[in-house]
Every structure is written in C-alpha cells, then in structure tokens.
Amino acid sequence: MVAQVQFEDLHPGPVGERFAVVDYDASQKTFYQPVNLDDPQIVMRQGLDPSESDPRFHQQMVYAVASETLQRFEIAIGRRVHWARFDGPKSKKMDKTGPLPSHRLCLFPHAMADANAFYSRDAQGILFGYFRASETMPGDNLPGQTIYSCLSHDIIAHETTHAILDGMRSYFSEPTNIDVTAFHEAFADLSALFGHFSHREILLDTLMKTGGRLYDTWLQAPMQTGSDGVELSGQIQRINPLAQLALQFGEASGMNRGLRDMLGSKPNSDDITRLTEPHARGAILVAAVFDAYFTTYTRRTADLFRIFRAGGGSANPVDLPDALAHRLAEEAARTAEEFFTICARAIDYCPPVDMTFSDFLRAMLTAHVDVHPVDDWHVRSALMEAFRLRGIVPRDAESLTENSVCWPQVVKDSLPEIPELIFGDPNGLTREEADRNGGVLRAYAAKNAKALGFADDHGPIDAPSFHPIFRIGPHGNLIIDMVVELVETRIVEDNELGKYPFRSGVTLLIWQEFQQNGQRAAPEIHYVVPKHRTPQREEQQRLHFSTIDRTGRHDADGHLKKNASAHDIASAWKIDFGLVHAGL
Amino acid sequence: MAVRKATKKKTAKKTVAKKARKAPAKKKKAPAKKAPAKKTKRSSGRSGSGTAPASGGNPAGLRVRMYRVGFGDFFLFTVPAASGPKHILIDCGVHSKDTHSIQAAVSHMAAETGKQLALIIVTHRHADHVTGFSKCKDVFKDFKVERIWMSWYENPKDAKALAIQANIAAVATQVSHALAARDKPEDEQYRNMVGNITEAMSATGTQNPGAFEVLRGFPGNPPISYYKAGDTPELPQDLVDAGLDAQILGPPDSNNMIKKTDSSKEEYLASEAATEGGHIRLFSPPFWVQPGEYSSDVLSKEDILAMQTRVATVQPDTLAARAGVANNLINNQSLVTLFTFKDKTLLFAGDAQWGNWANFLFGSLTGTTLKAASKAILGNLDFYKVGHHGSTNATPKDALAAMKDGCVAMCSTAIGAYNEVPRDALITAIDQKTHHQLARSDQVEAGNAKPDKDAGALPAGVFNASTVMVGEVPCGFIDYVV
C-alpha cells in the first residue's frame, strides 16, 4: 500500500512543516537513526520498503500516515489545524527545558516499552509504544514477537486525530461529562475507520469477498467448506478488515480480535445508559455513524445491483464482476469521504465546552444542511434514525425532525453585526489580523453577553479560538465562514475535589454576505451554539469529576497545589490519554 | 439506658462536654503521663480486667463497637433480644498499619459474645476486612454462628462472579510482581493496594487456611447467603423477633454499574502485555545513535532535550493506576447493609466507593438526581459506618449532604496507610454533619499504638473508649450505645 502525501522540504527525522518525528526511546534511553527521506537513494525508490527491523521505515510510516490524516482533515474542514500548545504545570524536571517549537506535532515512534500509544498535550506529541505479543493468545502473530504500535495504520490515524481534535477544540479534553472522553475516542476511531475506505486495494478486496455487502463482519473464504466438516486453512473465514481497528495489536494482546470491532452490533438504546468506559461508550457513536453510512451506501448502490441482476447476475453474488466491484468501490469511497467530511465539519458546529453525543448529532446535521441544503439520498434522516436506535436523541430539540434537530439559525438582525472582523484569505490570518480579531470578539462578547445567552453575573468572556473557514459548496461556490469560541471560565473550589474549572460559552458561526453597492457586507452571526451555565450542568460536572480516579497521572495533584494557576488547574483535569488507552 | 440517652442528648448540645468522661479528654492532653502507669484498665470501659473479659458488659440496648486493629475493619453490633444480647460481627481484618492487637481483640470479642454470633457479615474480600478470621482461626474454630452474609461476588456457584474475582486476582498478582520488580519506595501505597487483594486470598499469603475457609468451616455449617442490592436478606429468627430489620443497598447486580469491572476484553490493552516486555532491545546497534543526527536548523539541542524530558515525564504510571483500579473494584463489591431497630437506622457501607454508591443514590452511573427512596433513608439515618476508612470517594458528597444532621458516625482508619486516607476535608465534613459525633478508631490506644494525636480527641460523652489488657496486649475499642 502506498500513502501519498503532499510534497514538502524534509529534514532527517523526518522533520517537516507540521510534524517532527523524533525517535527517542525513553525506556532504553536511546535514539534510533532518523531517516532522511530527501536522500536520493530513498527518493529514487519512492521511500523505504516495508521492514520491521529498520527503524527508519517505522519513522517514514508514522510520518506518512500522520500527514495523510492531517491532510484529509484540512481538506474536510476547509482550514488549517493548529496544534494545541503545552500550557500546563511544569514539573521540576520540565522547568529546565524551554518551550517546544509550537507549530510541529512531535511523533515518537518508539517512546516506551509498553502496550500503549497516546497523544499527550504536555509532550505536544504522540508516544507510540512497543511490546511483546502474548505468549498464549498471539492471534496471527508469533508468540512473544515484538509488536510496534507505530506500524499500525489505524493507531497512527487514531492518535493523530486526537491531536487534531485537541488542536481544534482545546476544551474537549476536559471530561466534564460522561460523553466527553468517549467522544474523543469515538471521533478518533471514526477518522481511522473512514481512512480504510480511502484505500482502493483494501476496499476492492473486501467488496469481492463480501459480495458487495461491505458491512458483513466476515469475509467469504476463498474455498467453500466441504460437507464433511473438514476445514482447510483456505476455508477459514477472515474477519472484515474494514470494520476492525488495529487487528494485529488486538490479537497480539490476546484479545482474539481487532482492538475494536464496534460495527455490526445490534442496535439497542440500553447501552447508552449502561456503558461508561470511554471506548465502549464511544463505540455506540461510531456504530451509529457507520449504520447511517452503510444505509446510504446501500441506497446508492441498489441500482447497480438491480442492473447486475437484470443482466442475469445472482441475487447473492459470490464473485463480483470486476467492473461492478470498481463501481461499488467508487460509491463506497465517495460516501465514506462525504461522511468523514460531515463528522469533521461538525466539530466546528459543536458547543465549545461540555460536549455530548447529542450535541454532535445536532452539529452533524447542521453542518450537512449548510453545505448540502438538498439531501437527495436522505443522509440526514439515516443519521437521525441510526442515532435514535442507539438511544442518542437530540436533547432540547422539539421533535425528531430535521428542522428542529439542526441548531436554530439566528433570526435576522436579532444580534448586531461585527463589522470589524477580518476574514483574511485561505492561507490564514496574519498575526496582526488575528490580534485584532481577538480584541474585536472579546469586546463584542462583553457588549452583547446577554443577547448571546450568558448569565447576568458572567465573568470575563474569552475568545480562545477564531478561525476563518473556506469550503466549497455543492455548486462549486466558495463558502466563507468564521467559527468562534467564546468561553467564560470560573474556578470552583471544592472540599472534595480541590480546584477545577467550570466553563460555559457559545460557538458562533459568522458569515459574510455578498457585497452590495461596492461595499463589503458586515459579518453576521448565523448560528449561536450554546452551552450555558445552569445549576444542572454545575452539578453534573462536579459529580462526574468525583468519579475520576487520578491514580498514576504524572500531574495527579496539579489542582491541589496552594498557588496553582488557572493553567495548572485546567491541565490537571484534562484527559490523560495514556491512562485511557491503557484501559484505566 | 434512659440515663445514657440523657447524657448523649446533653452532649449533642455541647453543654457538658467534659463532664464525667475523664478518659478521652484527658488522654489527648497527657498521653506521656499515662504511659508509665500502664494498668489493666485504662478508661471508663465497663469490661472486666485481665485475659478473660466478662460477658456481663453487654448492654441493655443497641450497641456498635469498633475495635482498633490498624488499617482494617472489625465491628461488633449488638442487639438486645428476648434471650439476651445477640451479636453481629461485621468484618474482621487488618492489613497495613497493623497495631498487632487483632488476636487480643478477637479473644476479647470471643469472651464478650460467649463465642456465639447470630450473624457474620463479610462486606468484601480485602485483607483489611477478613484476615482476622485466618489469623485467629483457632479462636474462631468453635464459634457458634447462625448465618453468614456476603456479597454476590463471593458466591462460588456464580460463574460470572468467579470469573470476575479470578480476573482481579490475576491482575493484582501481576501488578504486585511488577511493582516488586521496579522496587521503588514511593510505591508503598500501591503495594498495599494489591497486597490487600492477594494476601486475603492466597493460601500462602498470611496464614493457611485462608479467611474464607474459616468462614466456610464453622461447626454446623451455618448457611451463607450471597446478596445484591434490593435483596431481602434473611436474619436469624431471634433478631427478627427482637425487632431488627435489614435491607441490602449494595452492591448492584449489573457489572456495568461498577465502573471498569472485570471485562479485560473491553480494555484497550490486556494487562498481560502491559506488564511484560520491559526489557526489549530494538533494532541492531548500528541504528542506536546520538541525538546529533537531527538538523539543528529545525530542531535545536534544547528542543531535543525538552522532548527527551517530556517523553519520559508525561507517561502515566499505569502500574499504579492498575493497582488503584483493582483496589476500587474490590471496594465496590462491598455488601452495604441498612439495619433498622425500632426507630433507629444504622448504615454499614463496607468500603463501597462511587460505583456502588451511585446505584443507590442515583439508580445509575449517569444519573444526577437523588432517588427519593435513598433521600428518605439517608434523611432518617442515626448511625453511619464511614466507608473505606474515610477515603475521598467512599462517602459521596451527595450522600453526606442527604444524611440526617446530628447522626453519629464511626470510622476505622489509620493515618499514612494510603495517600489521602483519611481525607481531611471529608473527615471535617462528616464531623460537621454529625455535630461532632464522629469516632475514629485511632483515637483509642490498642496494641503498640497510642491514640494518634493527629486524629484529635474522641468526642466526649457520645462514645465510650476502652483499652483492656488481653494477656500482655492492650485491646482497644470504642463503643457507641444507641
């Protein structure tokens, strides 16, 4: 399989514009030789060939998959992703070191001898571990074989997505309710899973082996099982790779399956009240999105199957004709791309804090309506139905109809315009423009706090992010928006929990109408996506925080220190993906 | 009884706080002075002196007695019945911070009860709640016990329960080996956590036979019942006739109620893999290089150094976290019992932590509204055995808030056994809730331990502290007569 990434100047590492691969192993206190992808010998061969025993291939793989994942996101959301900055408490050890270069995400392909891999804002990077395969249940691996998490396409994509999401929404890593961590995991899984569909070879192979039913859990074996029950290895059914994540990793850990196999489970509305473990809970959301995806894929390919059958093809085909397989692959890939785009764009339509599954559903539908006002294939109803079957219903919406599930649009002229806002161009804002926008937005928030829904006794309102978005609409038109987070933070002091931040705020989607009479129209707020302070929310966050066990965190007591800064406090409460990914 | 009640009332109003009870108040003031004058009877306990305390010290009313044994629970709950006082033993064990007085305490209890127990409740299988049975097996072996209650997790016929316990024990064993291998002094509390699991169960751990064999081997094989929240437990007839009623409030039945239970297959990473593989050498030596190979145009020496430190420091201590999770899982298996006697209600919560409590309080882990029934129970509570030695999430704020103002609480604890146990903020909150009617086991002398100065003085008038010599060993306990 070949990964195509954009050309850029690379230093040994590889170290490029957005990523720095640094192969430091903290368990062995060793560096491994960095690859120089600009080396003519390697360029000539289009990169190193796969090799488990050469660290340079590992580095190349991590770089390529992470870059590919980032690219897919940036295309989908129509703007550049900024990595979240390290801003937490510094341990004594850390104090000696200066700040990390902010614009690169560090990738550590062999960071530790541990069956773990995780994104860490404090390291501003992703740490990949390695471990020995289970001696007793290694799956398809050799017992005791060394397994590298950095060689799993899925794990790299998953972790990179955590970093991207943290960069897009820094408060989504504050687990203020039971859905937040689960959402981070679900979103990373969705990204990794949809990534599978962008790879033609796998897609075609799976289509062939499922007779076009991509959603089947099992692939058909190349040979049929005889009636006498004898089974040759060629007759063993293989698991559908599209619906599994990190098969090798899961099998090597003794799980006898991929790290996650959430697809194909029977929908029920019970799980949502029962499951609390972030991956298990996240799987509910993933399953709902994939349910809608497969429903749409089936609708879009129904005609192809009808044509195939009309031409004498079997209703339950074992061998798909090549041409049909290619057409199906095209539909599957196109639909996957569309769904991935809905998911990625939905982030910009989520409230800035305290996010729930229900918010995500509402955000997805709104994002979809904005770009595809006409929904020929009933994607939105497929989504609503799939979510409803899994007990995820839009809270506070009047009914389960498209109109009431989407966030309500701001009534024209009910909020003042923001004339001073600068949208810049698709290459981003200059520092001056950004500084100016920050000031404009804070002033606007202070002046219009009440109209935006903030409580009367609100504190200072900050604008932690504002990004212009440039997207292509269905008619090839360029849609320009700006997504703004406005957040009010209070530091709560609790006997039991120590200090913690309680946040509320709104996400604004602002757009600029066409110019009139030679004048640029003033930007108007189009959506206000709220998460306001309510006694229920305060109570819910406190209860949820009291369930969090901090044992084993590297910053376990950051919020208990006497003169802890707001940053220290926030940092101590954010999700520790190292523990979440270790199942703890 | 009437006199006693009057005393208590007065104390609650804090009018005669230091009146007749010389012992607790004085003890704090002058422990040094007391030490040389070691006598058999040190305080106002009613028990006789010497090795065989008379059973005549039994109360006419309801009594809760908390023995001090170190970090561990040992409670004797006595109910007046027609045929005389009936005794319920709730847990008997010690793990860390052992005061080496459990043998003395068990002998004392044996004499006091005449080796007759109406009921034994084993809240959960942690060493600090059960090792007394194995350590004192010779004393226990001819006890006459009518019934035994445990949580459904201990039912040997429940395949699900067996699998869960086996899994937790396996994880605890792995983690304890890994902790032993890395040999860091600051790991003590994590070693305690897993040791608390492995030592209670293993045949070789403390003593052979283990606590559960003792519990299952009482003469006449008294029936053992396994309960979950909502079950109606079966009390011995004498106690029912005496007017005692019991309800089981925890642990919940569904695994999912208790966060992150047994399902290792749901874990992102199996623990086997996580605890092995520390000594893998990767790649061949020519690939091992110095950091200088990175281009200083893009990564300075300082950048590289910063990264090196970050990679090493941000890694969570997954071993410690695993120890914590295993510890919580077992705590959450605690059998939570609510006793009602006439108009008094008493809650023994074992070491129940959040998952167990959440079911009782909110009906689920995702709920946020206190159930009306739970509110009513807590609002009427007269006595609360503080969960998990006063640790932070074993008495949820919401539970404490709902409890009746001025109820009485007892907490068996020992400072320094675990980080943040007991949690000062919580102890203060309970003290306020109970109108300063909170007793701590470390407020009485027992074994080799004096009253802990940091624990403060035992509230005068409410409780009755005694230290009696059993053989050479001081046996300390605190009584609360309802």
Return left, alpha or beta for A489; rule: phi > 0 is left, psi -120 to 50 is alpha, else beta. beta
How far apart are the CA of B118 and the nearest CA of chain A, in angstroms?
37
Instruction: Please report whether residue A336 resides in a domain.
Output: yes
Is the Cβ of B295 closer than 8 Å to some Cβ of chain A?
yes
In this structure, the answer to whether residues A289 and A163 fall within a common structural domain is no
Instruction: Please report whether residue A547 resides in a domain.
Output: no
Contact B449, B460 (CB under 8 A): no
In this structure, the answer to whether residues A163 and A206 fall within a common structural domain is no
Longest Cα–Cα distance of chain A, Å, equals 83
Please name the residues in contact with A176: beta carbons below 8 A apart, sequence gap of 6 or more.
Answer: A353, A354, A503, A540, A541, A544, A545
When pLDDT is cut at 50, 70 and 90, the band that residue B451 belongs to is very high
Position B58 pLDDT exceeds 80: no
* Res B93: pLDDT: 92
In this structure, the answer to whether residues A306 and A211 fall within a common structural domain is yes
Which of the residue ranges A260-269, A433-442, B290-299 has the most confident prediction, judged by mean pLDDT? A433-442
Position B287 pLDDT exceeds 60: yes
Is the Cβ of B20 closer than 8 Å to some Cβ of chain A?
no
* Res A139: pLDDT: 67
Q: Which residue of B has its CA nearest to A249?
A: B269
User: What stretches of B314-353 show up as alpha helix (H) in DSSP?
Assistant: 318-331
Contacts of A94 in chain B (CB under 8 A): 309-310, 313
Using DSSP's 3-state secondary structure scheme, residue B265 falls into helix
Which CATH number do you get for residue A138? Answer: 3.10.170
Q: Which residue of A has its CA nearest to B318?
A: A552
> B303 vs A101: CB contact, 8 Å cut-off?
yes
In this structure, the answer to whether residues A298 and A368 fall within a common structural domain is yes
Instruction: Please report whether residue A53 resides in a domain.
Output: yes
> A547 vs B307: CB contact, 8 Å cut-off?
no
* Res B51: pLDDT: 37
* CA–CA separation, B365 and A276 (whole Å): 8
* CA–CA separation, A83 and B276 (whole Å): 33
In this structure, the answer to whether residues A527 and A418 fall within a common structural domain is yes
In this structure, the answer to whether residues A200 and A303 fall within a common structural domain is yes
Strand order in the sheet with B288-289: A24-25, A30-32, B288-289
> B282 vs A130: CB contact, 8 Å cut-off?
yes
How far apart are the CA of B310 and the nearest CA of chain A, in angstroms?
5
Instruction: Please report whether residue A400 resides in a domain.
Output: yes
Q: Which residue of A has its CA nearest to B285?
A: A32
Nearest to A579 among B277, B316, B398 (CB): B316
Structure-model confidence comparison of residues A240 and B295, the more confident one:
B295
Is the Cβ of B423 closer than 8 Å to some Cβ of chain A?
yes
Structure-model confidence comparison of residues B26 and A501, the more confident one:
A501
The domains located in chain B, with CATH, are 6-265+319-481 (3.60.15.10)
Using DSSP's 3-state secondary structure scheme, residue A233 falls into helix
Burial class of residue A154 in the structure, from the number of CB atoms within 10 Å of its CB (0-12 exposed, 13-18 middle, 19+ buried): buried
How far apart are the CA of B457 and the nearest CA of chain A, in angstroms?
23
> Please, which residues bridge with residue B341 across strands?
B244, B344
Q: What is the pLDDT of residues A405-415, one digit of tens each?
A: 999 999 988 99
Contacts of B308 in chain A (CB under 8 A): 24, 26
Q: What is the pLDDT of residues A185-213, one digit of tens each?
A: 999 999 988 888 888 887 888 887 777 77
Best mutation target among B268, B364, B400 (most A Cβ atoms within 10 Å) is: B268
Q: What is the pLDDT of residues A291-309, one digit of tens each?
A: 899 899 989 988 888 888 8
The mean-pLDDT minimum among A216-220, B176-180, B343-347, B359-363 falls in A216-220
When pLDDT is cut at 50, 70 and 90, the band that residue A374 belongs to is confident
Q: In what helix (H) or strand (E) does residue A367 lie, and over which residues does it extend?
A: helix A357-371
Is the Cβ of B276 closer than 8 Å to some Cβ of chain A?
yes
> A122 vs B314: CB contact, 8 Å cut-off?
yes
pTM score, two decimals? Answer: 0.83
Average pLDDT, chain A: 84
CA pseudo-torsion sign A436, A438, A439, A440: positive
In this structure, the answer to whether residues A214 and A308 fall within a common structural domain is yes
In this structure, the answer to whether residues A150 and A203 fall within a common structural domain is no
Contacts of B328 in chain A (CB under 8 A): 549
Enter the DSSP assignment of B471.
T
* Res A584: pLDDT: 67
In this structure, the answer to whether residues A135 and A204 fall within a common structural domain is no
Q: What percent of chain A has pLDDT over 90?
A: 36
CA pseudo-torsion sign A201, A207, A208, A210: positive
Q: What is the pLDDT of residues A436-467, one digit of tens each?
A: 999 999 999 999 999 999 999 999 999 999 99
* CA–CA separation, B441 and B71 (whole Å): 9
How far apart are the CA of B348 and the nearest CA of chain A, in angstroms?
21
Q: Identify residue A161 by its one-letter amino acid code.
A: T
Position B60 pLDDT exceeds 80: no
Token pair in block for residue A241: 């790779």
* Res B275: pLDDT: 42
Instruction: Please report whether residue A203 resides in a domain.
Output: yes
> B317 vs A583: CB contact, 8 Å cut-off?
no
Could you say which of A405, A438, A455 is where a domain stops?
Answer: A405
Q: Which residue of A has its CA nearest to B303?
A: A100
Position B203 pLDDT exceeds 50: no
> Please, which residues bridge with residue B477 across strands?
B67, B466
Best mutation target among A162, A253, A548, A554 (most B Cβ atoms within 10 Å) is: A253
In this structure, the answer to whether residues A358 and A484 fall within a common structural domain is no
How far apart are the CA of B325 and the nearest CA of chain A, in angstroms?
7
* Res B52: pLDDT: 37
Q: How many domains does chain A have?
A: 3
Burial class of residue B39 in the structure, from the number of CB atoms within 10 Å of its CB (0-12 exposed, 13-18 middle, 19+ buried): exposed
Domain residues for the domain of A298 are: 194-222+238-246+260-405
How far apart are the CA of B356 and the nearest CA of chain A, in angstroms?
11
Place of tokens 């064990």: B93
Q: What is the mean pLDDT of residues B64-89?
A: 94
* CA–CA separation, A279 and A192 (whole Å): 14
* Res B378: pLDDT: 95
* Res B32: pLDDT: 40
* CA–CA separation, A153 and A164 (whole Å): 16
> A127 vs B314: CB contact, 8 Å cut-off?
yes
Instruction: Please report whether residue A69 resides in a domain.
Output: yes
Backbone angles phi, psi at B448, to 5 degrees: -90, 10
In this structure, the answer to whether residues A420 and A386 fall within a common structural domain is no
How far apart are the CA of B303 and the nearest CA of chain A, in angstroms?
6
Q: What is the mean pLDDT of residues A19-43?
A: 87
Best mutation target among A102, A549, A554 (most B Cβ atoms within 10 Å) is: A549
Cα distances (Å, whole numbers) of residue A361 to A174, A387, A413, A422: 20, 8, 27, 30
* Res B363: pLDDT: 81
Instruction: Please report whether residue A545 resides in a domain.
Output: no
Contact A394, A400 (CB under 8 A): yes
When pLDDT is cut at 50, 70 and 90, the band that residue A361 belongs to is very high
Report how far apart the first and last C-alpha atoms of chain B are (Å, whole number). Answer: 9
Structure-model confidence comparison of residues A389 and A143, the more confident one:
A389
> B287 vs A132: CB contact, 8 Å cut-off?
no
* Beta-strand pair A478-494/A105-113: unpaired
Return left, alpha or beta for A312; rule: phi > 0 is left, psi -120 to 50 is alpha, else beta. left
In this structure, the answer to whether residues A401 and A418 fall within a common structural domain is no
Contacts of A499 in chain B (CB under 8 A): none
When pLDDT is cut at 50, 70 and 90, the band that residue B34 belongs to is very low
Instruction: Please report whether residue A328 resides in a domain.
Output: yes
